[in-house]
Chain A
Amino acid sequence: MSTTAIQPVPSGRRLKRFMADRPLIPLIILLVILVVVLQILRPGIVNERWLANTVKFAIPLAILAGCQTMTMLTGGIDLSVGTVATMSAFIMATQVVNHDPAVAILIALVPAVLIGLVNGIGVGVFRVHPLIMTLGTSLIGTGCLQVYQRTVIASGAKIPPFLAWLGTGLTYGVPNALLLFVPIAVLIVFTLNRTGFGRLLYAVGDNEGAARLSGVRYWQVITALYVISSVLAGITGLLYIGLIKAPSLSLAEPLVLPSVAAAVIGGTSIFGGRGGYTGTIIGALILTVLTTLLTILQMPEGARRILFGLIVLFVTAAYLRIIEDR
Chain B
Amino acid sequence: MTTNPLLDATGVVKTYGAVVALRNASLSVLPGEVHALMGANGAGKSTLVKILTGAIRADAGHIRIRGEARDVRSPADARRAGLLPVYQEPSLIPDLDVASNLRLTDTPVEPFRAWVRELGIPDLDIRETARDIPLAVLRVLDLARALAVEPDVLLLDEMTAALPANLAEKVLEVVRRQGDSGRSVIFISHRFVEISALCDRATVLRDGETVGVVDIEPGVEERIVEMMLGARIEKTRMAARMASQAASPGDSRPRLGVANLRVGTKLNDVSFDLANGEVAGVVALEGQGQDELFAALAGSIRPSGGTIEVDGKPVKFAHPADAIRAGIAYVPGDRTEALTMQRSVRENIALPFSAALRNWGPINMAQERSRVVSAIERLQIDTRAQREVQRLSGGNQQKVTIARWIAAEAQTILCFDPTRGIDVGTKQEIYKLLRELADQGKSVLFYTSELEEVQRVCDRVIVIFGGRVVDVFPVELADEPALMRAAYGLPRGAKEDVGILADIHSTPVAKP
Residue A196, interface by CB 8 Å: yes
Residue B470, interface by CB 8 Å: no
| B230 and chain A: residue at smallest CB distance | A1
A1, A195, A206: which contacts B363 (Cβ < 8 A)?
A195
**Is B337 a contact partner of A9 (Cβ separation < 8 A)?**
no
CB distance from B134 to the nearest CB of A (A): 18
Residue A209, interface by CB 8 Å: yes
Residue A39, interface by CB 8 Å: no
Interface string of A186-206 (1 = CB under 8 A from B): 000010001111011011001
CB distance from A12 to the nearest CB of B (A): 12
Kindly specify which of A138-146, A211-219, A258-266 makes contact with the partner chain: A211-219
Residue B248, interface by CB 8 Å: no
Chain B positions within 8 Å of A199 at CB level: 347, 350-351, 354, 363
**Is A274 a contact partner of B356 (Cβ separation < 8 A)?**
no
Residue B394, interface by CB 8 Å: no
**Is B360 a contact partner of A207 (Cβ separation < 8 A)?**
no
**Is A202 a contact partner of B339 (Cβ separation < 8 A)?**
no
Which residues of chain B from 69 to 88 have any CB-CB distance to chain A below 8 Å in the complex?
none
- In the complex, A206 Cα to B388 Cα: how many Å? 12
**Is B343 a contact partner of A206 (Cβ separation < 8 A)?**
yes
Residue B20, interface by CB 8 Å: yes
**Is A196 a contact partner of B361 (Cβ separation < 8 A)?**
yes
The verdict on A203 contacting B362 (CB below 8 Å), with A213-B332, A215-B321, A216-B321 known, is no
CB distance from A66 to the nearest CB of B (A): 18
Kindly specify which of B10-18, B162-170, B487-495 makes contact with the partner chain: B10-18
**Is B300 a contact partner of A196 (Cβ separation < 8 A)?**
no
How many B residues touch A, CB cutoff 8 Å? 44
Chain B positions within 8 Å of A215 at CB level: 319-321, 324-325, 352, 355-356
**Is A196 a contact partner of B353 (Cβ separation < 8 A)?**
yes
A2, A211, A220: which contacts B351 (Cβ < 8 A)?
A211
**Is B347 a contact partner of A202 (Cβ separation < 8 A)?**
yes
**Is A195 a contact partner of B351 (Cβ separation < 8 A)?**
no
- In the complex, A196 Cα to B363 Cα: how many Å? 6
Interface centre among B330, B347, B352, B355 (most CB of A within 10 A): B355
**Is A203 a contact partner of B343 (Cβ separation < 8 A)?**
yes
**Is A200 a contact partner of B17 (Cβ separation < 8 A)?**
no
**Is B15 a contact partner of A9 (Cβ separation < 8 A)?**
yes
Residue A51, interface by CB 8 Å: no
Residue B359, interface by CB 8 Å: yes
Chain B positions within 8 Å of A217 at CB level: 319, 321, 355, 357
**Is A17 a contact partner of B17 (Cβ separation < 8 A)?**
yes
Chain A positions within 8 Å of B319 at CB level: 212, 215, 217
- In the complex, A77 Cα to B363 Cα: how many Å? 26
Chain B positions within 8 Å of A274 at CB level: 342
| A269 and chain B: residue at smallest CB distance | B342
By secondary structure, the B interface counts as: mixed
**Is B343 a contact partner of A196 (Cβ separation < 8 A)?**
no
| A207 and chain B: residue at smallest CB distance | B340
CB distance from B348 to the nearest CB of A (A): 8
Chain A positions within 8 Å of B332 at CB level: 213
| A16 and chain B: residue at smallest CB distance | B17
**Is B363 a contact partner of A194 (Cβ separation < 8 A)?**
yes
Residue A255, interface by CB 8 Å: no
Residue B207, interface by CB 8 Å: yes
The verdict on A206 contacting B321 (CB below 8 Å), with A196-B360, A199-B363, A214-B404 known, is no
**Is A213 a contact partner of B356 (Cβ separation < 8 A)?**
no
- In the complex, A20 Cα to B498 Cα: how many Å? 56
**Is B18 a contact partner of A273 (Cβ separation < 8 A)?**
no
Which residues of chain A from 154 to 213 have any CB-CB distance to chain B below 8 Å in the complex?
190, 194-197, 199-200, 202-203, 206-207, 209-213
Chain B positions within 8 Å of A190 at CB level: 362
Residue A4, interface by CB 8 Å: yes
CB distance from A235 to the nearest CB of B (A): 21
CB distance from A253 to the nearest CB of B (A): 32
Residue A296, interface by CB 8 Å: no
The verdict on A273 contacting B340 (CB below 8 Å), with A4-B20, A213-B332 known, is yes
How many A residues touch B, CB cutoff 8 Å? 36
Residue A150, interface by CB 8 Å: no
CB distance from A218 to the nearest CB of B (A): 9
Residue A5, interface by CB 8 Å: yes
CB distance from B184 to the nearest CB of A (A): 29
Interface string of B265-288 (1 = CB under 8 A from A): 000000000000000000000000
Which residues of chain B from 315 to 345 have any CB-CB distance to chain A below 8 Å in the complex?
319-321, 324-325, 330, 332, 336-343
- In the complex, A325 Cα to B298 Cα: how many Å? 37
Interface string of B349-392 (1 = CB under 8 A from A): 01111111101111101000000000000000010100000000
The verdict on A200 contacting B352 (CB below 8 Å), with A206-B342, A207-B341, A325-B16 known, is no
Chain A positions within 8 Å of B361 at CB level: 195-197
- In the complex, A28 Cα to B324 Cα: how many Å? 44
Residue A151, interface by CB 8 Å: no
**Is B355 a contact partner of A5 (Cβ separation < 8 A)?**
no
CB distance from A261 to the nearest CB of B (A): 22
**Is A197 a contact partner of B360 (Cβ separation < 8 A)?**
yes
**Is A203 a contact partner of B340 (Cβ separation < 8 A)?**
yes
A2, A194, A326: which contacts B56 (Cβ < 8 A)?
A326
CB distance from B406 to the nearest CB of A (A): 14
Residue A298, interface by CB 8 Å: no
Chain A positions within 8 Å of B351 at CB level: 199, 203, 210-211, 214, 216
Chain B positions within 8 Å of A11 at CB level: none
CB distance from B380 to the nearest CB of A (A): 11
- In the complex, A206 Cα to B352 Cα: how many Å? 15
**Is A200 a contact partner of B324 (Cβ separation < 8 A)?**
no
| B338 and chain A: residue at smallest CB distance | A210
CB distance from B363 to the nearest CB of A (A): 6
| B355 and chain A: residue at smallest CB distance | A215
Interface string of B14-58 (1 = CB under 8 A from A): 011111100100000000000000000000000000000000100
Residue A47, interface by CB 8 Å: no
Residue A7, interface by CB 8 Å: yes
Interface string of A251-286 (1 = CB under 8 A from B): 000000000000000000000011000000000000
Chain A positions within 8 Å of B23 at CB level: 7
- In the complex, A224 Cα to B353 Cα: how many Å? 18
CB distance from B450 to the nearest CB of A (A): 23
CB distance from A180 to the nearest CB of B (A): 22
B330, B355, B362: which contacts A216 (Cβ < 8 A)?
B355
CB distance from A187 to the nearest CB of B (A): 11
Interface pairs A-B: 9 shortest CB-CB: A196-B354, A206-B340, A215-B355, A215-B321, A197-B360, A215-B324, A196-B360, A214-B351, A214-B352
Beyond contacts A215-B355, A215-B356, A273-B343: 9 other A-B pairs, Cβ-Cβ < 8 A, are A1-B207, A2-B384, A4-B207, A197-B354, A199-B350, A207-B339, A213-B332, A273-B340, A326-B16
What are 24 A-B interface contacts by the 8 Å CB criterion?
Answer: A1-B207, A5-B19, A5-B384, A17-B18, A20-B17, A194-B363, A194-B365, A195-B362, A196-B361, A199-B354, A200-B354, A202-B340, A203-B340, A203-B343, A206-B343, A210-B339, A210-B351, A212-B319, A213-B332, A213-B338, A214-B320, A215-B325, A325-B16, A326-B16
**Which A residues fall within an 8 A CB radius of B?**
1-2, 4-7, 9, 17, 20-21, 190, 194-197, 199-200, 202-203, 206-207, 209-217, 220, 224, 273-274, 325-326
**Which B residues fall within an 8 A CB radius of A?**
15-20, 23, 56, 207, 298, 300, 319-321, 324-325, 330, 332, 336-343, 347, 350-357, 359-363, 365, 382, 384, 404
